[in-house]
Structure 1
Amino acid sequence: MLLSFTTFLLVSHAAIAKANNAPQALRSDVKVRNIMYTLAASPSVRIAKDPRNNQLYYLKRNGEIYRVNLATSQSQLVYSRKDHQLSDTQGMAIGRDGAIYLVGNTNLTNSLTKATIVKGVVSGTGDRVWSILAETAGYPKSNTAYDHGFNGIVVGPANKYIYVNSGSRTDHGEIQSANGQFPNTREVGLTTCIFRLPANGKNIFLPNNRQILKSKGYVFAEGIRNTFDMAFAPNGDLFGAENGPDRDMPEELNWLRQGHHYGFPWRIGGADNPQQFPNYNPSKDRLLNPVFHAVKRGFYHNDPTFPKKPNRTLTEPIPNFGPHADSFRDPQDGKVKDASNLGRSLSTFTAHRSPLGLVFDTQKALSSEFQGNGFMLSWTKGGAHNVSGYGPFRDSSADLLHLKLTKIGNTNYKLSARRIVSSFQNPIDAEIIGNKIYVLEYGGSQGIWEITLPAKK
């Protein structure tokens, strides 16, 4: 039900602008406008439109959902935990019938968690009635920064299925026993998958057993480390932006297809994870940066019991031919290089960018240069001269990329990436309406920014 009160976020743009560096358009035909700031005790995590009327909503981590008035730059609290019963939400999507889907994670104990997907269906009065679409069994946490949980969600174009990401509980497939509570445990049945569930489902139970999940047709794709965001292209193909590990390996954009395995933890960023090999010596690994947590904690080590690679074809990431977001550290000499400057591609993006906020011009509303193309955010700020610190090296990141994708038969895609807006504060999600992209920030004062691109003439 609608809350019996309304809350408006009325913020002085002038006052907060002093504390925020506004994003900068990198082309004269791209315009940037601040809509509002959403700073509150709980951070903003998702932004989505109702396809029926292009009404914009954003989600807070604590489960609050706000409706945005673009004309007045105000937002109204419309739903909260009292309505849908979730208090730790990381995913939101809206179907073409106006149903809102939320993804939440709940700690059952200090070391056990479960995920819940709820659905708010539009009633005859125009309000939404909430119910549980699916819920998982409890499954082991690692009690590390790598407990990614369930997060990204997208509704299929026909409104028949939802697709939900369940990220890894490890950095790169290492044992994480939660201080001995789960001996020799790496990934489990409910992790590192994209699930496909019927949009009209109710109280679906997802056990922590991969074979049972497969037998029921719920597993769409495997070998996913953490595909925090997914989006459908105009032709109906599904894409996912993949966050990489603490090793200096490229981060991925994948063409997600049913039944495919995307490599984790054996293949990451188009390369082998060296920990699977019996002669691995981390002291000679030039891609280990000592500033990262997994390296500091010794999670990269000689690992004789590392599982054998599956006896099946592993699907590789989409190659990026630049000119942007394609810096890499050479595993042979440890130097940072630019792939496109060397006449080669990268699989797919500069390490540690944390790609997310993926959208496509599905309505073909943009000018010929951008029409039908993809756009993607990157969370982590880098630096043009950074080669050894935290974050993407020699890559400013924290930006909006234009992704021009070209299909290569039925095998894969290739892309070129160009920066078109820079200097966001940890941008976390995006939505597209016509020729305008709305970017939600997690950092700073959690702004919502309107990016206007050239429209179709």
Structure 2
Amino acid sequence: MNSINLSKQEQRRFIGKFTLKSYFFVAKTLLLAIVILNYGATKVNAVPKALRSDIQIRNILNTLSVSPSVRIAKAPGNNTLYYLKRNGEIYRVDLNSSKSTPVYNSSNHNLSETQGMAISPKGTIFLVGNVDLENNQTKGIIVKGVINSVTGQRIWSTLAESAGYPKSRTAYDHGFNGVVVSPDGNFIYVNSGSRTDHGEVQSVNGLYPDTREVGLTACILRLPTNGRNLFLANNRATLKAAGYIFAEGIRNTFDMAFAPNGDLFGTENGPDRDMSEELNWLRLGRHYGFPWRIGGTDNPQQFPNYDPAKDLLLNPKFNAVQRGYFRNDPTFPIRPNVNLIEPIPNLGPDADSYRDPVDGKVKDASVLGQTFSSFTTHRSPLGLVFDTQGVLSQEFNRDGFMLSWTPGDPTGETLAGPFKDASQDLLHLNLTKVGTSNYQLNATRIVEGFSNPIDAAMINNKIYVLEYGGNQGIWEVTMPTK
């Protein structure tokens, strides 16, 4: 997600492939390197539709304002919802009255460009933002707001701040964005997305010669929640020595969530090439492949004989293709000598369309009896939640649910987005562990017709979906219970 106005090519989806490939990355709309980066928000006020009779949907309120809404989170205990604006404003939602109240802004926490928000079991709010610096650099900042047990007031402080590091000045500057708190409240996990689309050189017109990824990009950080003024160096070895690197080889995991069994999962947005989007089981010390393995396949630019003119997965509708970022690249870095973790296979029936690299045709993996890692290209998956309380009916009990940001073409391939896949929906993810090495999933569409849905939160049997497009509505999806 780079900028925001999302809608894949209009402003490249958001979170953009998160880089929701925003075409207006120039405009400081780095929001969701998420989901928001790459695609642009649709202008139509969509009315979501349940695809099952036992699911109900109602509009809680619309959040449209000068600054777009980017995150929604649940507070512990009282089941209060909060939503975050890109400019740092935080609103509390009264679900009974369907009204919201502004409670914090940049004058409280000192962040005016925010992309991530999470709330701990004790009610501490964590915000993730980015600040532009001179010489085309940026830095990430994580702040926390702790409730004073005596006064009841929230005290804000800086948990961590990164060194400055070079932006690429493209739609692929994902920055610091997604954040989740561990179930015990002791750690936060923060996504620092890539500065490239697929590992290509982005030198900023020679300002940073031969620069691809740097120490602070394309990784997930793990930081102690009791930290204060931690410094995050732009050096991978230094970060590892401090215990801050949780996982590597991440392009842009705009959203993460813990399953009921404590396993951590993350949605991963892919590049402008027609390569699948991912869902990953995230584990300490693992490398998830970027930029050598993407969507369960090899990045062809790493090979010396790569000829983009013969690459049937390059679609001229997309920015990186138009700008010639896919090229024969003799200096592409050598693949690391570690086990690269593959995405979770999707057995269908939905969100599993792919373009065959041999004949260029769009096909349905599950119809052909093929496994697929993990979702239709350009979907920009995010808004991941789980039934952690185990309150849903047997069919959905303790399962996952996921949104997809980018508008797609349900019958063809006319859009700069998913092909033969409508997207902008809520998927039911039935995850099954396969031994000790990975999971597999079945993805099924259960609600369609959102307008660039960007985040979700779950309270009991209700999933609250926040939209980035249209009126930026908050929709309550009521699921069947036991």
TM-score normalised to structure 2 length: 0.90
Helix, strand or coil: the match of 1:438? strand
The Cα shift of 1:383 comes to 1.4
Helix, strand or coil: the match of 1:437? strand
Where structure 1 has 5 or more consecutive residues not aligned to the other structure, the ranges are 1-17
| Residue matched to 1:271 | 297
| Residue matched to 1:91 | 116
The whole-number CA distance in structure 2 between the counterparts of 1:225 and 1:21 is 30
The whole-number CA distance in structure 2 between the counterparts of 1:208 and 1:241 is 24
| Residue matched to 1:309 | 335
| Residue matched to 1:135 | 161
For 2:124, the aligned partner's letter is A
Q: Structure 1 residues 110, 381: closer, same or farther in 2, change over 3 A?
A: farther
The Cα shift of 1:20 comes to 2.0
| Residue matched to 2:233 | 207
The Cα shift of 1:325 comes to 0.1
Aligned counterpart in structure 2 of residue 409 of structure 1, from 422, 431, 435:
435
The whole-number CA distance in structure 2 between the counterparts of 1:335 and 1:169 is 30
Larger Rg computed on CA atoms: 1
The whole-number CA distance in structure 2 between the counterparts of 1:304 and 1:428 is 38
User: Per-residue displacement from partner, 1:168-227 (whole Å, max 9, x unpaired)?
Assistant: 000000000111110000000000000000010000000000000001110000000000
5 Å-filtered alignment, 1:206-355, equals 206-355=232-381
Q: Is the 8 A contact 2:44 2:451 kept in 1?
A: no
5 Å-filtered alignment, 1:169-208, equals 169-208=195-234
For 1:451, the aligned partner's letter is V
Q: Is the 8 A contact 1:289 1:388 kept in 2?
A: no
The Cα shift of 1:42 comes to 0.2
5 Å-filtered alignment, 1:44-83, equals 44-83=69-108
The Cα shift of 1:55 comes to 0.7
Q: Is the 8 A contact 1:317 1:348 kept in 2?
A: yes
| Residue matched to 2:28 | none
| Residue matched to 2:462 | 436
For 2:171, the aligned partner's letter is A
The whole-number CA distance in structure 1 between the counterparts of 2:311 and 2:377 is 16
The whole-number CA distance in structure 1 between the counterparts of 2:113 and 2:272 is 25
The whole-number CA distance in structure 2 between the counterparts of 1:365 and 1:318 is 25
User: Per-residue displacement from partner, 1:85-115 (whole Å, max 9, x unpaired)?
Assistant: 0000000000000000000000012510000
Where structure 2 has 5 or more consecutive residues not aligned to the other structure, the ranges are 1-42
For 2:116, the aligned partner's letter is G
Q: Structure 1 residues 338, 89: closer, same or farther in 2, change over 3 A?
A: same
Q: Structure 1 residues 363, 257: closer, same or farther in 2, change over 3 A?
A: same
Helix, strand or coil: the match of 1:134? strand
User: Per-residue displacement from partner, 1:104-161 (whole Å, max 9, x unpaired)?
Assistant: 0000125100000000001122221000000000000000000000000000011110
Q: Is the 8 A contact 1:356 1:376 kept in 2?
A: yes
The Cα shift of 1:455 comes to 1.1
The Cα shift of 1:388 comes to 4.8
The whole-number CA distance in structure 2 between the counterparts of 1:60 and 1:289 is 33
| Residue matched to 2:476 | 450
Q: Structure 1 residues 19, 252: closer, same or farther in 2, change over 3 A?
A: closer
| Residue matched to 1:121 | 146
The whole-number CA distance in structure 1 between the counterparts of 2:119 and 2:162 is 21
The whole-number CA distance in structure 2 between the counterparts of 1:185 and 1:234 is 40
The Cα shift of 1:53 comes to 1.6
User: Per-residue displacement from partner, 1:293-320 (whole Å, max 9, x unpaired)?
Assistant: 0000000000000000001100000000
Q: CA RMSD in A?
A: 0.9
| Residue matched to 1:10 | none
The whole-number CA distance in structure 2 between the counterparts of 1:381 and 1:127 is 41
Helix, strand or coil: the match of 1:340? coil
TM-score normalised to structure 1 length: 0.95
Helix, strand or coil: the match of 1:294? helix
5 Å-filtered alignment, 1:13-28, equals 20-28=45-53
The whole-number CA distance in structure 1 between the counterparts of 2:312 and 2:409 is 20
Helix, strand or coil: the match of 1:214? helix
Corresponding residue pairs, total: 439
Question: Any runs of at least 4 consecutive aligned residues in structure 1 with deviations exceeding 4 A, and if so which?
Answer: none
